């Protein structure tokens, strides 16, 4: 896997061994993580299926620009990052966004079109308020620990297990992921809560695949169905997985239907 930069944006790239399929894939991560979450499984797997696969780290994340200015970055800044990366690619990519990355992709569609879009446990166009209220009543300790992670405060590593995973994960791998996680921009969180939500009436409507996980505590299935209904789609919910679906042991149960959807459209 190659690590490079487009301007000041960190890029992970996995190229197919042979001729690439016509449309590259660009993966956009969620809050508290960076491009590395796609490099664990998805980038090499999709490259083996023939797609040139890229993952970006948004500003203030991973090895991208100005981690020291993280709290100044808005969702619009993240959309600017996405535009910058797309402009560096030879042809427009299919956009695959997880959680916060899914909302960034939705906001991008207010500006421009895309060949196709995959939303994985995406923040819905109605924002994070319903998720926050749900956590407040059902898992208040988890909501508090997410706020602590956002502030850069150490938390019980078991909170990461509960937030991201439904399937068992060994302690060594969990600790490694914990070390790779990072704070998130307060400004971006507020944007996703109420101040800069997607406006579906302004958005381009490329082909969409909308997926969620049955045991996701952060973006539960009812919110995934809400996203799908907004865009006139049917959501696909994968049983037995949590929010960090691309890192679960059964991550391939997420990757395979994405690949089938892409092939059906000759991407």
pLDDT tens per residue, range 51-97: 999 999 999 999 999 888 899 999 999 999 999 999 999 999 999 99
**How high is the pLDDT of residue 70?**
93
Three-state DSSP state, 68: helix
**How high is the pLDDT of residue 200?**
97
Burial class (CB in 10 A: 0-12, 13-18, 19+), 63: middle
**How high is the pLDDT of residue 154?**
64
- 249 or 146, which is more confident? 249
What domains are there in the chain, each with its CATH number? 2-264 (3.40.50.1820)
Quote the CA–CA distance of 193 and 38 in Å, as a whole number.
Answer: 25
The H-or-E segment that residue 95 falls in is: strand 94-98
Q: pTM for the full model? A: 0.95
Q: Which of 225, 29, 221 minimizes the C-alpha distance to 134? A: 221
pLDDT tens per residue, range 176-192: 999 999 999 999 999 99
Q: Which residues pair with 25 in a beta bridge?
A: 53, 94
**How high is the pLDDT of residue 141?**
63
Percentage of the chain surpassing pLDDT 70?
92
Work out the angle between the directed axes of helices 157-164 and 171-180 (0-180°, nearest 10): 90
The mean pLDDT of 145-173, rounded to a whole number, is: 78
User: How far, CA to CA in Å, does 191 sit from each of 43, 171, 205, 239, 252?
Assistant: 29, 34, 22, 30, 32
pLDDT band with cut points at 50, 70 and 90 for residue 156: confident
How many residues in total does the chain contain?
A: 267
- DSSP structure class, residue 141: H
The mean pLDDT of 137-161, rounded to a whole number, is: 65
**How high is the pLDDT of residue 85?**
98
Residue 74's contacts (CB-CB under 8 Å, 6 or more residues apart) are: 185, 187, 188, 191, 196
């Amino acid at each position: 896997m190659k690590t490079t930069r487009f301007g000041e944006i960190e890029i992970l790239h996995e190229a197919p061994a042979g001729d690439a399929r016509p449309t590259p894939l660009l993966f956009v991560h969620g809050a508290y993580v960076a491009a590395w979450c796609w490099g664990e499984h998805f980038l090499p797997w999709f490259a083996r299926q023939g797609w040139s696969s890229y993952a970006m780290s948004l500003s203030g994340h991973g090895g991208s620009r100005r981690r020291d200015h993280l709290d100044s970055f808005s969702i619009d800044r993240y959309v600017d990052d996405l535009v910058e990366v797309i402009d560096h690619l030879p042809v427009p990519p299919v956009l695959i966004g997880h959680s916060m990355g899914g909302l960034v992709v939705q906001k991008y569609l207010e500006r421009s079109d895309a060949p196709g879009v995959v939303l994985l446990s995406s923040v819905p166009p109605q924002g994070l308020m319903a998720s926050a209220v749900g956590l407040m009543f059902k898992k208040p300790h988890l909501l508090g620990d997410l706020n602590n992670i956002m502030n850069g405060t150490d938390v019980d590593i078991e909170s990461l297990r509960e937030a991201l995973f439904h399937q068992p994960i060994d302690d060594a791998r969990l600790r490694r992921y914990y070390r790779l996680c990072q704070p998130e921009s307060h400004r971006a969180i507020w944007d996703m809560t109420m101040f800069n939500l997607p406006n579906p009436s302004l958005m381009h409507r490329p082909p969409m695949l909308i997926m969620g996980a049955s045991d996701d505590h952060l973006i539960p299935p009812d919110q995934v169905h809400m996203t799908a209904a907004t865009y006139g789609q049917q959501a696909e919910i994968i049983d037995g997985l949590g929010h960090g679906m691309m890192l679960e042991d059964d991550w391939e149960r997420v990757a395979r239907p994405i690949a089938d959807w892409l092939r059906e459209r000759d991407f």
